[in-house]
Chain A
């Protein structure tokens, strides 16, 4: 049975259900239980629900150490940028230990990080930084676009024996969608074909899945059949599903809210150029944020990030229906 839930509630439901199912699941974070009436605190107690000081490095490092001993901590970081102050733990400790010890220890932690809050939060709270993490061997990177996937990917992330960075988009927080009741697992590393089509493949990441779908809808009105793929997970990346789609359509547009250089979109484009070149009928188009810090003022903010018209323009270009811009 499914019922409508907001995206953020779907994530919380996954954490709650996993904490009920498995007593090794812990929940750490700043401000996660601000009163004694907090439902997590009431259900699981202060041993398992731990409010931390503003000390991301110690907080994440401690979660890693507890994971060595068999616990499965979920660290609520609120803003993805807060991981940046703890990069040693996120990049150089958590994902390295299983490998460096030849498998003597495992690090089953989840870092829950909100990203892309392009609603006037300006330069330091709006970054779309998942691309920085998808190239770190040993880290998994989940990027849910819907409430159902948010629940299913969080459940899979908690059960995974590897460190997972779970990026949820702040503008999706209150978006509603059908979410299965009870156990719901979406495997990490499996893309979803959210709309089938024949003329062009549009890969949208996270929040950009919605914009890709809006563009596909508009294109359908013009007689263009677009296939939309949501990778759902950037590491491991399901290149197979993307390549199979491009083999069918021959054209690829990738929509990513991050800045273009070093982006997930660039990696996907490189994979397709390398492994699927013979299928391509046109150069791959990337619709990314401009290579700039997100500005505060609304018109500038909107100017910088991809939207449906930009996606439509890119599709027209790969279809040879628009001139290449100078």
Chain B
């Protein structure tokens, strides 16, 4: 979790310094979900994410240096600078896709789940999305099809209470995402998404069943987005939490208090600095690359 927190904080600084020049959405505060879920997955399990993807990519095994290089638009980036923050992909680690369109990733994950089933594998597919995605038609279509075909997929909703710039109450009268899927009788649970052990325990149960060929499952994780929708968001639409209030909620501090352990902050920050140096040392891609990969 410290690796993600340190990474995101550093990306924020680098964005303000214009070393990361594009649009970035940071996941600081939501680390427990990425870690609680991805720490139990294998490379052949497919994970999909959305526009707030750095934490998921890192938790799924993408090397910090190559993620940072991608954000800086360098040749050594995961996608050689062609994808950027919202389209991070590390296929070798089963991190198959960040998509920048809210909800666009949900059916893709079902395709991975279907492929695993047809290949006779016990691999599963996991898709992360926010509570904002749930009001889209694509979500309902996907849930219906996943339930109909009983696909080995776990849908993980990071419910941070804000869909981009507006609170959930402005989008729907249904408070809990887990209630939205009730008619399909999908196994589902809502957990405290800032409690990494709770996320890990519940997801682990769903994962074991999905490996046995069951599914789909929905895990709703209630969490808090520490920053704005995007880096630089003035956040005029909400009040920041008081420092003490956040200390109570912070998933990292909560785990440290529970374990009586100081955590790995220093190690994580050192790794992130190495990643920054790795990215800085990588050259920019040759501009001609931009025209070269249109067709496979």
Contacts and interface: CB of A to CB of B under 8 A. Distances in A.
Interface stretch (A6-14, A91-99, A113-121): A91-99
Contact of B115 (A48, A55, A61, A66): A66
B204 interface: no
Contacts of B293: 98-99, 102-103
A262 interface: no
Interface string B104-122: 1011111111111011000
Contact of A58 (B46, B79, B107, B119): B107
A61 B89 contact: no
B277 interface: no
Given A66-B112, A92-B104, A106 B296 contact: yes
Interface stretch (A67-75, A205-213, A291-299, A316-324): A67-75
Size category, B interface:
35 or more
Contact of A105 (B80, B89, B104, B142): B89
Interface in B264-296: 293-296
A223 interface: no
B79 A57 contact: no
Given A47-B118, A58-B145, A66-B114, A102 B82 contact: yes
B144 interface: yes
Contacts of B295: 98, 138, 140, 161-162, 236
Contacts of B87: 96, 100-101
Nearest to A58: B141
A97 B92 CA distance: 15
Contacts of B119: 69
Interface stretch (B49-57, B93-101, B210-218, B240-248): B93-101
Contacts of A57: 107, 137-138, 141-142
A65 B118 contact: no
Question: Quick one: which of A47, A65, A100 has the most chain B CB within 10 A?
Answer: A65
A137 interface: yes
B170 interface: no
Contacts of A101: 78-79, 82-83, 87, 89, 91, 97
A93 B99 contact: yes
Interface string A42-59: 000001101011010111
B111 A69 contact: yes
Interface string A131-153: 00000011010000000000000
Contacts of B109: 65
B111 A67 contact: yes
B213 to A, nearest CB: 14
B115 A103 contact: no
Question: Quick one: which of A47, A50, A104 has the most chain B CB within 10 A?
Answer: A104
A53 B115 contact: no
25 contacts: A53-B144, A53-B148, A55-B142, A57-B137, A57-B142, A58-B106, A60-B107, A61-B108, A61-B110, A61-B138, A61-B142, A62-B110, A65-B107, A65-B109, A67-B111, A68-B108, A69-B112, A92-B104, A93-B104, A98-B293, A99-B293, A102-B293, A106-B296, A108-B296, A161-B296
Given A65-B108, A65-B109, A89-B107, 15 more contacts: A26-B118, A57-B138, A57-B142, A58-B142, A65-B114, A68-B111, A69-B46, A70-B115, A71-B115, A71-B118, A99-B293, A101-B79, A101-B87, A105-B97, A162-B295
